[in-house]
Amino acid sequence: MKPTSTSQSSQCPFHAPAEDASSARQAHPPGVWPPGPRSGLTGWGLLRRMSRDPLGTFADLRQRHGDIIHCRIWPEHQIVLADPQLVRELLVSQHEPLIRWERGIQVFSQLHGKSVLTAEGEAWRSKRHALQPGFSPKNVQSFVPVIAAAADSAFAQWQADGSRWPIESAFTSLGMDVIMRMMFSSEIDEDARAAEWAVHATAVAGNAEMYWPASWPDWMPWKRTKRRAIAVLNRLVDRQIDARLALARDAWPMDLLSRLLALHDEDPSAWPLKAVHDECMTAFLAGHETAAATLTWWAWCMAANPEAQTAARREVETILQGRAPAASDLPSLVYLGQTLQETLRLYPAAPVLLSRRSVRPITLGAWQFPARTMFTVPVQLMHHDPRWFPDPLAYRPERFAPGAPAIPRGAFMPFGTGPRVCLGQHLAMAEMTVIAAMFLQRFAVTAPAGMPAPRPEFNITLRPEVPLHLSLASTSAPASVDIRLAAAASSLSGRTPRSATR
């Protein structure tokens, strides 16, 4: 279908042709919809296309119809927003009348229960207020020694002999180890390794179910993989909670689980153990997945851009002088931070935000939308827009350098924006910076000869379609966790990290 060039608006709920610039500046009366694709009788064909290739579909729609697109997928009116100013207006100024898409929340709730991720209204505000202090930049600094200890332990086992190394799987295991230490003061064990498979299995199952108005019950024979994956994750979390409760309160380490159980002790009615379980599950899943996915893509970007890799390593060597990073070092690793930001621009872990629904009529720009309108924000589409990022598919960390041209507000939002911005964004950035710095101290990474660029695949988060393998070579003597680092980690946990099963 060719882009339309007509300038009239339509009140037909199934199709509205594109408009010219002069009419787009005028305020449109209620009942008039932005331009969008022809939907046919139900629009379910478009839905099938989205389910198979959401990122490609949104890119094609934006090219054909502009930055604000009306998709009629019966029984919904869905608006796809790719304009940074309107996105900020929606998520910041207009956030009060918005709820998250009910079907998406229903799917997430199968694993996350009633956590801060899935809660709405006053329940969400209460949970967010209680959890926010634990993820403040100051509290995040206390986890840097734990992150560095996990990275040092993992990198000592990685092979730097130039062979194809399963970098994605290795970073996923490292991310799992980090979150186990931060949440449970427990090093990775067999249950946690089984959880790596379970996280992937539940993500694939959840992404498939998102596009259907209802799901077959989980007890159906063909859903045994999903059932087993959820059971693995629930068992891991419950085992950690039970082991912690078996300890005297003064023996609890100062980790995320102890902070959640402290909320339970202070107000058991507001924070029953089920609520602690749900928040543990959300922190556990989100806490390792974003970092692992981003570090995987970062490693590819380093391999594909050796000059950027060399510059980042030079900065790390200059700042750290061979030692493990401390919290005070992170602000000085400026260029390394830029390489991570550029990776998040090209490969945001959440390339499409969970859709929102308006519970009352709202106005965005020149458009007036009725209650129950659905809004979708394709983050990656804005990150790849040449208007905001010239030569958008090129890897250029200098886009984020001090003094670089300003990026329009809303055009770069890898962690979302507004009141629902990712609770763990500071922790994720600290974790990725520490691990990336220690990686560059030990390894030079290259792509095997003839290897094509990995193709992104969207299953809740953005991962390579085929598990990524890269070649590692040793750079110099590894930076070990020294005595001061080990002492800091021990002080944070209140004891030597150990498995809760011992």
Residue 50 lies in a domain: no
**Looking at the domain assignment, is residue 6 inside a domain?**
no
pLDDT band for 25, please (50, 70, 90 cuts).
Answer: low
Residue, of 264 and 221, whose pLDDT is higher? 264
Cα–Cα nearest to 200, from 233, 167, 178, 177: 233
Helix H, strand E, coil C: the string for 330-399 is: HHHCHHHHHHHHHHHHHCCCCCCCCCEEECCCEEECCEEECCCCEEECCHHHHHCCCCCCCCCCCCCHHH
pLDDT band of residue 17 (cuts 50, 70, 90) is very low
What pairing do the DSSP bridges indicate for beta strands 76-81 and 374-376?
parallel
CATH number at residue 476: 1.10.630.10
Mean of all residue pLDDT scores within the chain: 86
**Does residue 85 lie in a domain region?**
no
Spatial neighbors of 119 by CB under 8 A, at least 6 apart, are 127
User: In this structure, is residue 95 part of a structural domain?
Assistant: no
Average pLDDT (232-254) is 92
In a domain, 369, yes or no: yes
Q: What is the pTM of this model?
A: 0.86
User: Percent of the chain at pLDDT above 90?
Assistant: 64
The residues near 95 (Cβ < 8 Å, ≥ 6 apart) are 418, 419, 420
Number of structural domains in the chain = 1
Biggest distance spanned by C-alpha atoms of the chain:
72
Q: What angle do CA 63, 67, 70 make, to 5 degrees?
A: 95
pLDDT of 377 strictly over 80: yes
Whole-number Å distance between alpha carbons of 139 and 323: 22
422 appears as a binding residue in the annotation: yes
Residue 368 contacts residue 73 (beta carbons within 8 Å): no
Taking phi over 0 as left and psi of -120 to 50 as alpha, with beta for the rest, 66 belongs to left
> Looking at the domain assignment, is residue 396 inside a domain?
yes
Beta pairing class for 76-81 and 68-73: antiparallel
Residue predicted with more confidence, 476 or 17: 476
**What residue numbers bound the domain in which 170 lies?**
106-493
Would residue 434 count as lying in a domain?
yes
Q: 204 falls in which pLDDT band (50, 70, 90)?
A: confident
Asked if the structure places residue 379 within a domain, the reply is yes
CB 19 within 8 A of CB 367: no
Q: How confident is the model at residue 492 (pLDDT cuts 50, 70, 90)?
A: very low
Q: How confident is the model at residue 476 (pLDDT cuts 50, 70, 90)?
A: low
Residue 367's DSSP bridge partners are: 364
CA distance 297 to 172: 12
Point out the least confidently predicted range of 189-193, 237-241, 274-278, 339-343: 189-193
Number of residues that this document lists for the chain: 502
pLDDT exceeds cutoff 90 at 54? no
pLDDT at 215: 74
Average confidence (pLDDT) over 287-302: 93
